[in-house]
Amino acid sequence: MSVLKVTKNNFDEVKNSEKTVLLDFYADWCGPCRMVSPIVDEIAEEYPQYLVAKINVDDEPELAESFSVTTIPTLVVMKGGKVVSQSSGARPKEQILNMLEG
């Protein structure tokens, strides 16, 4: 599956998703975000049971604020439109998968 680029216009897709959602809040200039980004891409590729989405905090400051994001990258797992876990900072693949499975 490809990664969904989230804006406030298509955020309903995330909120109403029947799949478990992985959200990656990032910015292009942020080193730790660039480390996590290919891992998130890989998860999208390998685990079609998840909806994997990225939100650029520069383009979507309101969405970042609504998730109280003050650190990037921030990774959020949502189920049925609700946040079930949120973690700040770069994480190895295994830990991100644990968040999704947890």
Partner 1 sequence: MMEYIYDMIIIGGGPAGYTAALYASRAGLDTLVVERMSAGGQMALTGDIDNYPGFDEGVDGFTLGMKMQQGAERFGAKTKYAEVTGVDLSDKIKRVKTSSEELLAKTVVIATGANPRELDISDEQQLIGRGVHYCAHCDGRFYRDKTVVVVGGGNSAAADALYLSRLVKKVYLVHRRDTLRATKIYHEPLFQAQNVEFVWNSVVEEFITDDRVVGVKVKNLVDKKTGEIACNGVFISIGRMPVTAFLNNAVEIDKNGYIVADESTRTNIDGIYAVGDVRTKALRQVVTAVADGAVAVHYAEEYLAHFSD
Q: Which residues are designated catalytic?
A: 30, 33
Whether the CB-CB separation of 19 and 11 falls below 8 Å is answered with no
ω before 73 within 30° of 0 (cis)? yes
Residues numbered 10 to 29 that lie near partner 1 (CB under 8 A) are 29
Please state, in angstroms and rounded to a whole number, the distance separating the CA atoms of residues 42 and 59. Answer: 23
- Size of site (CB under 8 A) for partner 1: 26
Q: How far is the CB of 33 from partner 1 (least distance, A)?
A: 8
Please state, in angstroms and rounded to a whole number, the distance separating the CA atoms of residues 10 and 91. Answer: 26
| 44 touching partner 1, by CB under 8 A | no
Q: Two tokens at 58?
A: 């520069």
Stretch 49-88: interaction string toward partner 1, x if CB under 8 A: ---------------x---xxxxx-x-----------xxx
Question: Under the rule (CB under 8 A), what is the footprint of partner 1?
Answer: 29-36, 38-39, 64, 68-72, 74, 86-94
